[in-house]
Structure 1
Amino acid sequence: MRHLSLLLCLILGSTPALAAEPPAVPGWQDYRDGKLASARQHFEEAAGAGDRVAAFNLAMLYWRGEAVATSKPKALYWLRKAAEQQLPQAEHALGILYENGDAVPKSLTRATYWFDRAANHGLIVAQIDLGTQFFLGRGAPQDYARAAYWYEKAAEQGDAGAQYLIASMYEYGHGVRRDLESAIRWYAKAGVQGDVAATLKAIELAKQISGQAL
């Protein structure tokens, strides 16, 4: 089970997808400076005015109990507000909640629904999670082709883990036509990012192809 509190900490603090938006949200700099009470006040005002990032940030404060008493119901309220405005991190976070049954009734179907929304809005981790839902048949009918589609989408955005996953799909022909050259290409891309196992797989498959050519 993944712990949402860690995920949300990463989202609020450092994800590139949010980097362009927080500076425009009043209170963001206060949060970074540790002025949590001031940050909360600014987030509340902006969220009340319809700012989706402020709503998300306010949800995180309530979730973690920063400058407010911990309140999962209030966190969920603001998280939904952000998700309804198509903030992908909020959509994905709701998926995690439904996956774990945390603050909401557990529902893998609803988890898949929110992963799908976030994935279609370009969030890499949601694309990987959605692919895994399809790969395992969890919250959706098992569908290797759709799993491969989403793994490749995430891989194309440069995620090393997704590159390894889609390489494996090409290696074994899961959801795609078996294609060792494509497998090598994706393993190599993951390897360049430091995945030693992926580098070894690329070398192994390259030797296999060379042997077949002799």
Structure 2
Amino acid sequence: MRILLSLLLMVITSSAHADMVTAREFMMKKDYEAAFKEYKTEAQRGNIFAQYIVAQMYARGEGVKRDMREAVNYYSLAANTGHMKSQNNLANIYMTGHGIVQNFSEAAYWFKKSAEQGNMLSLASLGELYHRGYGVDQDYKLAREYYERAAEAGIKKPYINLGTMYFNGEGVPKDYIMAYMWFDVADRRGSLEGNVNKFDMRTIISEDDVAKAEALAEAWVTKFPEPPKDDEENKAK
């Protein structure tokens, strides 16, 4: 009896793997409708990665009519089983309110779940919620801590926010050198906003302080180089 059950399990597993391979082949051929059908079949069987892909396809309107509610449904299935990328994407939908009712509390919950698994994008977004006091009690100290951790891990989003906190004195003493330093870091990493903010600050900061800030920025980008970009599907698994 045990042998029969084992053989049946092997057949089911082999079939599921074949369906996922077929779905990926359709995706590579850009036959999104065929890929969607294969992935959805596997998603309904409980395949977590397939649930994530189906949610993405609903969100993007690839191979199926765009439907954010269905995207939320499938992201939720994967998120509730611990899929980190689904947790992050679900949180983003709740934060922006694209196609559903905006809910910052739900966004904070799922960003936290994803961040606890090491997703630095989620940590940066969670920092933003604490910075603004959306869905959580406003906490500048925690926001800055999350921004800095995410920035050090190679996430660019916090650079401008950290500069803004120092410029406005939000949870830290107002410090134009540190503000300029973060805007310079953002500029060095390709941010137009960082470049513009630096230009605007030159009307209120001395050349000596600019030099100090640029030296700090140079030291920071040297200490924390940009990480290599990983394959998106590998990161999602």
Instruction: Please state which band the TM-score falls in when normalised by the shorter chain.
Output: 0.5 to 0.7
Amino acid at match of 1:208: D
1:58 to 54, 79, 82: 54
The 3-state SS of whatever aligns with 1:111 is helix
CA deviations 1:140-185 (Å, max 9, x no partner) are 1111111112221221132333112223324444234666665454
TM-score, length-normalised on structure 1? 0.68
Partner of 2:215: none
Q: Distance in 2 between matches of 1:161 and 1:201?
A: 20
Partner of 2:16: none
Gapped runs of 5+ residues in structure 2? 1-19, 213-237
Kindly indicate whether residue 135 of structure 2 is the aligned counterpart of residue 136 of structure 1.
Answer: no
The 8 Å contact of residues 163 and 183 in structure 2, kept in 1 or not, is answered as yes
Amino acid at match of 2:196: A
Pairwise CA distance, 1:70: 5.2
The 8 Å contact of residues 94 and 104 in structure 2, kept in 1 or not, is answered as yes
Q: Distance in 1 between matches of 2:173 and 2:41?
A: 53
Q: CA RMSD in A?
A: 3.3
Q: In the TM superposition, what are the counterparts of 1:34-49 in structure 2 within 5 Å? A: 34-49=30-45
Between the aligned residues of both structures, percent identity stands at: 25
Q: In the TM superposition, what are the counterparts of 1:41-190 in structure 2 within 5 Å? A: 41-68=37-64, 72-101=68-97, 105-176=101-172, 182-190=178-186
The 8 Å contact of residues 85 and 114 in structure 2, kept in 1 or not, is answered as yes
Q: Distance in 1 between matches of 2:210 and 2:32?
A: 58
Q: Mark the CA change 1:29 to 1:173 in structure 2 (over 3 Å): closer, same or farther.
A: farther
The 8 Å contact of residues 124 and 155 in structure 2, kept in 1 or not, is answered as no
CA deviations 1:60-104 (Å, max 9, x no partner) are 333455434555554333211121233333212322333355565
Amino acid at match of 1:87: H
Deviation above 6 Å: which 4+ runs of structure 1?
Answer: none
The 3-state SS of whatever aligns with 1:86 is coil
Q: Mark the CA change 1:41 to 1:118 in structure 2 (over 3 Å): closer, same or farther.
A: same
Pairwise CA distance, 1:121: 3.2
Kindly indicate whether residue 193 of structure 2 is the aligned counterpart of residue 192 of structure 1.
Answer: no
| Residues matched between the structures, number | 187
Kindly indicate whether residue 209 of structure 2 is the aligned counterpart of residue 208 of structure 1.
Answer: yes
The 8 Å contact of residues 98 and 105 in structure 1, kept in 2 or not, is answered as yes
Q: Distance in 1 between matches of 2:199 and 2:94?
A: 37
The 8 Å contact of residues 60 and 66 in structure 2, kept in 1 or not, is answered as yes
The 8 Å contact of residues 166 and 183 in structure 1, kept in 2 or not, is answered as yes
Larger radius of gyration: 2
